[in-house]
Amino acid sequence: MVILRAYRPDDLDALYDICLTTADAGKDASADYSDPQLVGHIYAAPYGVVEPERVILAEDEMGVAGYIVGTFDTPAFAAKLEQQWWPALRARYAAPSPDWTAADRQRVAGIKAPEVHPADLVATYPAHIHMNLRARLRGQGVGTQLLQRWVAEARAAGVPGIHLGASTANTGGVAFWTRSGFGPLIDTGRSVWMGMTL
């Protein structure tokens, strides 16, 4: 039995954990990081903290097992993060740790200089999303349900389009987005930006 529900502040740990355990092109990336929160600081937690109304969770009898997070307005969200999210993390990670792995260092660099989504992409597809499900929830239509609910709310708010970035190594993820109506827009080799107009 899977329910979809709104985010609550005590769901933050689940956002971090699901993000980390799906971060290697859909597989568990725990072994790559000495700091288990680093990847979630970028791709999951800020959505719960800064725009909780844009988070939808999937929960089963074992707990929260998947999420879709995002924003309707990518530049406005980036500006909010500069005010409300990055400063504390930049202070926390200011001094390099000898324990940091290559992946840790890459994410700290991303905290110091966050990725800017391409302007021409954002002009046509101002919203963006991330979605991750624990393995036990995959392949049962839950991702489709989460996406449909998020898209319905975006459409009702007058959002003209949604984009996302996927690792090209994540063939299952790219197949899901393609099947769900997203098309490839910019291919950087390691990742692909995809978009869908509403």
What residue ranges bind ligand COA (CB under 6 A)? 22, 26, 131-133, 138-144, 166, 170, 172-173, 175-176, 179
Nearer to ligand COA, 84 or 188 (CB): 188
Of all residues in this chain, which one has the CB nearest to ligand COA in the complex? 143
Nearer to ligand COA, 93 or 122 (CB): 122
Q: Residue 65: which of 146, 132, 118 has the closest Cα?
A: 132
- CA dist 40 → 13, 46, 121, 187 (Å): 9, 8, 24, 24
Nearer to ligand COA, 105 or 130 (CB): 130
Rounded-to-integer distance, Cα 136 and Cα 121, Å: 33
The tokens of 92 are what?
Answer: 């926390």
Q: What does residue 140 show for φ and ψ, rounded to 5 degrees?
A: -125, 15
Rounded-to-integer distance, Cα 196 and Cα 171, Å: 18
Nearer to ligand COA, 93 or 131 (CB): 131
Nearer to ligand COA, 59 or 93 (CB): 59
Q: How many Å separate Cα 13 from the centre of its chain? A: 15
Rounded-to-integer distance, Cα 152 and Cα 135, Å: 25
Taking the complex as a whole, the smallest distance from the CB of residue 111 to ligand COA amounts, in Å, to 20
Taking the complex as a whole, the smallest distance from the CB of residue 83 to ligand COA amounts, in Å, to 27
Taking the complex as a whole, the smallest distance from the CB of residue 27 to ligand COA amounts, in Å, to 8
Rounded-to-integer distance, Cα 76 and Cα 19, Å: 23
Q: What does residue 180 show for φ and ψ, rounded to 5 degrees?
A: -90, 0
Taking the complex as a whole, the smallest distance from the CB of residue 28 to ligand COA amounts, in Å, to 10
Taking the complex as a whole, the smallest distance from the CB of residue 172 to ligand COA amounts, in Å, to 3
